[in-house]
Structure 1
Amino acid sequence: MIKSFIRKHPYGAAILAALICTFLTSVGAAITQIAVLDEVPGYLAMSAAVACSILIGFLLMARSGHSLAFYGFRKPASGSVKKVWLFAPLLLLEIVPLVLFAPKFQEPGAFYLVLIVFTILVGINEEVYFRGLVFGFIRQKGPKAAVIGSSIIFGALHSVNALSGTNPWAVLLQIAFAFLAGLVLALIVSITKSLWIGMLWHTVHNFISYVTETSLDRTALIVVGVQVLVMLVYAIGLWRAGTREQM
């Protein structure tokens, strides 16, 4: 039944998978707010919800009729990651906030330990769904359709959080970053055939975002603007590289 639905309705299956991921992640956040949990138990509750989401994602992969390797659980394709520029922009994205908003690490050690677990799980979860399932479902329509479709779905769902902001420039920049991040991560999967690079960057980016979290003043907006610009240039470069390799 699942195989048939995916084959007949790849875009519907992709959207449904993305909504499952978003819903299960939201459940953990809702429990934390309703129970008024402190930071450490709150992150533990959210981690448990994300872990459940990951397990369901693997179950969907198994029921889809394809192997885990089909969805990106494999080594990067031979020669696909030899070029330094494939990683340099991702490194630059994280260096900028670290330099300008150096984390103080004033919380207890348990907080950072739980935060690391949470960000690792979130990184795995979102790559399993958006670059694994969503990308894999749409790929039957062609690799370019998979890249564009998965990035639109990822950007649209992540843009919802940005819309709650009050600064219009911050909202626009965060929405732009969400769409471009989805595009870049999808292109990396298309070129390398692997989820591992995306999972690693996603985890590092989320952790740094949490420990350097600051008010959206002028400096912070400039940083996000620089990150959006880097992502845009990077996406163009990856698209051209993917096209040359008949993505």
Structure 2
Amino acid sequence: MTTRPEEPTRRTLSTTWHSWRFVLLVMLALEVLLLLCLGAARFFLPNVPLLALDLPILLLNAVFAAVLLTRLGWWRAAGFQRINRPRNWALMVLPVALLIVPALLVGVDGPPPGKALILLVLILLIAFQEEAMFRGVILHGLAPLGTLQAVMGSALLFGMIHANSLLVGRDPAFVAVQVIASVLGGIGSAALRLRLGSIWPLIALHTLNDFVQFSAAQGLAVQQASPVLLIAKLGIASVMALYGLFLLRGLAIRWWPVQGKGAAAPQ
């Protein structure tokens, strides 16, 4: 049987359409959840500051991520498994150093013990739901498009979702930097996720990043970020992007179906 030359192009366009349709529906669901929470708060709790809704919104997002992964059967495919090679732990040295060394040099003061525990719970929720959604579900959903396209697409969407911080009253300058830094950092994080074969180190790294960042900002509100914090955030994210591009060299996804329970197998 002779294959017509236009068939591969047709299959490619179909794959691209299905992959982007899936991830955009996921993004839409996240936006609807947020807007419903904010709308309900405005109606039933008009005197409560929107920033006080961080915990319930994060809990809802975490539950949504867990339900979605369960329904799709993607827990293992999203990286909730051990690192594929123990020696790959060495890949985490640079990202961890990028967070710890500047904090030590600048002298970031941690919050009091009581507030530190609350902050840790909040950022653990942030780390779980953001990594599960963007380095798990969305990266997996875009994988049929190719390694580079999946990494860049997930990083771009990761940056865009941070614009929602404007809705709860965070500093616009901080939000603008956060969007750019999230795109750049998302490249490095997605590349690490593929190289490591596990999402757990990314959740730990995300937790460390947010703990250092919000400790420096004295909380999650960030109503007015210091120029030093903004410059440091962009600088670290830029290095992470370059590191991610370095890690992507020669990296290909051997088998990673959009549907089903298969796990990523980068090579």
TM-score (norm 2): 0.71
**Residues 1:228 and 2:228 aligned together:** no
Select the structure of larger CA radius of gyration. 2
Q: Is the 2:139–2:150 contact (alpha carbons within 8 Å) kept by the matching residues of 1?
A: yes
Q: Which sections of structure 1, spanning at least 5 residues, go unmatched?
A: 1-5
Instruction: Quote the residue 1:91 is aligned against.
Output: 97
Deviation at 1:175, TM superposition (A): 3.4
**Residues 1:126 and 2:130 aligned together:** yes
Quick one: which amino acid aligns to residue 126 of structure 1?
A: E
- Aligned-residue RMSD, C-alpha: 3.5
Call closer, same or farther: CA 1:206–1:166 in 2, change over 3 Å: closer
Superimposed CA distance per residue, residues 70-121 of structure 1 (whole angstroms, 9 cap, x where no aligned partner)? 1111111125614x3543233223431343152153x4x3322111111101
**Residues 1:242 and 2:251 aligned together:** yes
Superimposed CA distance per residue, residues 123-172 of structure 1 (whole angstroms, 9 cap, x where no aligned partner)? 001011111111111123333322121111112222454797565xx676
Cα distance in 1 for partners of 2:176, 2:158 equals 16
Instruction: Quote the residue 1:3 is aligned against.
Output: none
Cα distance in 2 for partners of 1:96, 1:241 equals 31
Q: Give the number of equivalent residue pairs.
A: 232
Call closer, same or farther: CA 1:38–1:48 in 2, change over 3 Å: closer
Cα distance in 2 for partners of 1:178, 1:240 equals 21
Q: Which sections of structure 2, spanning at least 5 residues, go unmatched?
A: 1-14, 219-223, 255-265
Matching of residues 1-247 of structure 1 within 5 Å = 9-24=18-33, 31=41, 34-36=46-48, 42=52, 46-64=54-72, 66-79=73-86, 81-82=88-89, 84-103=90-109, 105=111, 107=112, 109-159=113-163, 161=165, 173-213=177-217, 216-240=225-249, 242=251
Q: Is the 2:184–2:237 contact (alpha carbons within 8 Å) kept by the matching residues of 1?
A: yes
Q: Is the 2:152–2:187 contact (alpha carbons within 8 Å) kept by the matching residues of 1?
A: yes
Call closer, same or farther: CA 1:7–1:152 in 2, change over 3 Å: closer
Cα distance in 2 for partners of 1:194, 1:132 equals 10
After superposing the two structures, state which structure 1 stretch, 192-201 or 209-218, moved more: 209-218
Quick one: which amino acid aligns to residue 54 of structure 2?
A: M
Q: Is the 1:47–1:117 contact (alpha carbons within 8 Å) kept by the matching residues of 2?
A: no
Call closer, same or farther: CA 1:29–1:120 in 2, change over 3 Å: farther
Call closer, same or farther: CA 1:240–1:93 in 2, change over 3 Å: farther
Cα distance in 2 for partners of 1:200, 1:26 equals 28
Q: Is the 1:13–1:137 contact (alpha carbons within 8 Å) kept by the matching residues of 2?
A: yes
Q: Is the 2:165–2:175 contact (alpha carbons within 8 Å) kept by the matching residues of 1?
A: no
Cα distance in 2 for partners of 1:115, 1:206 equals 9
TM-score (norm 1): 0.76
Cα distance in 2 for partners of 1:50, 1:171 equals 18
After superposing the two structures, state which structure 1 stretch, 55-64 or 45-54, moved more: 45-54
Call closer, same or farther: CA 1:80–1:61 in 2, change over 3 Å: farther
